[in-house]
Amino acid sequence: MLVLVAPGQGAQTPGFLTPWLELPGASDRIAAWSDAIGLDLAHYGTKADADEIRDTSVAQPLLVAAGLLSASALGDLTPGAVAGHSVGEITAAVFAGVLGDTAALGFVRTRGLAMAEAAAVTRTGMSALLGGEPDVTVPHLEKLGLTPANVNGAGQIVAAGTMEQLAALEADKPEGVRRVVALKVAGAFHTQHMAPAVDKLDAAAKSLAVADPKVAYVSNRDGRTVSAGDEIVSRLVGQVANPVRWDLCMETFKELGVTALLEVCPGGTLTGLAKRALPGVKTLALKTPDDLDAARALVAAETSAADAAGAV
C-alpha cells in the first residue's frame, strides 16, 4: 500500500520552487493561487531568502502550494492513505478530496497569518532533540516548562516554548539526547502559545466546502484514520495548539499495511523518519522534477501490486 505524505514548516529552502515552475502549466497555476490568496508564491518560492520564507504567514501557504503542485505532476494518483505533518495536513486534506486546492490555500493563508500574530505576542520557538527516550525526555521538557510539540518517532521529539526555556534546554539536555537543533520556524507551534489562532481558524472553517475523504486520512492528533470531512476540518482547526503525533501516524501506516511512502515537495524530512521507523518500506522524496520518473515508477509498481492482491 502506498502512503502519500506532505511535510510541514521548516522543510522550505530558498529557491526550492524554481525548477517546478518550469513544468507545463505550473507558473499559471501558481499565479492563480497567488491572486486568490494575495501572496506572491512565485516570488517567495524562487527569489526570497531564508529569512523571508521563515515567516510563518509565507512559509505555510508556500509549502501547501508546493505539495499540491508536485503531486499534480504525477498525474492521476490514488494512494492507499494520506497524511501530512502539521501544515502538511492541509495538503493531505486536498489529496483526500476533503478540500479543493484554492479553498485549502485560502485556509492555510488564514492559518499562517493567525499563527504569526500569535507568535508575535511572546518570543518563542522550537528545537528538535536528537536521541533519547520519550519516557525520559518528555518529563524533562515539562520540568523546563516546554511542550513536546512534535513527537516524530525514530528518536526525535521537538520541544516548543519561550526562547528562555529553549536556552535552558540547550544547557540542560535530557539524558540520552545527543543534540538540540533550533528549527527554522517563528513560534512555539502546537502549544498553548497558539491558542489565539484557533478562534480565527474556526471562523474561517465555517465557509469551507467540505467533503468526506476518498482515501484513508491519518490524523496528527492521535494517528487515527478519520472518515468524516467535518471532523478532519475540526481537527485542522484545533491542531495548531495541540501536539503533532507523527509517531502514531507511522504506527497506523504499519497497521494499514504500508509498503511504500512518497513525500511531496519539499520532500526529505518525513522519508528520513520513515527510513528509521518503517524498515522495509520503500521511500521516495520529491525534491525536484528530476525525481518524478522514479516517483511514477514507484506509484505504478504499488498500483500493480495492489491490483494483483485484489485479484487473488
Would you call 85 a catalytic residue per the annotation?
A: no
Alpha carbons 135 and 160: distance in angstroms, whole number: 17
Alpha carbons 212 and 197: distance in angstroms, whole number: 25
Contact 127, 159 (CB under 8 A): yes
Would you call 190 a catalytic residue per the annotation?
A: yes
C-alpha cell at position 189: 507551534
Measured CA to CA in angstroms, residue 270 lies from 147, 209, 210, 305 at distances of: 21, 29, 27, 23
Alpha carbons 227 and 211: distance in angstroms, whole number: 10
From the candidates 85, 140, 190, 193, give the one annotated as an active-site residue.
190
From the candidates 86, 127, 193, 219, give the one annotated as an active-site residue.
86
3-state secondary structure 92-160: HHHHCCCCCHHHHHHHHHHHHHHHHHHHCCCCEEEEEEEECCHHHHHHHHHHCCCEEEEEEECCEEEEE
Alpha carbons 255 and 15: distance in angstroms, whole number: 37
Residues acting as catalytic residues: 86, 190
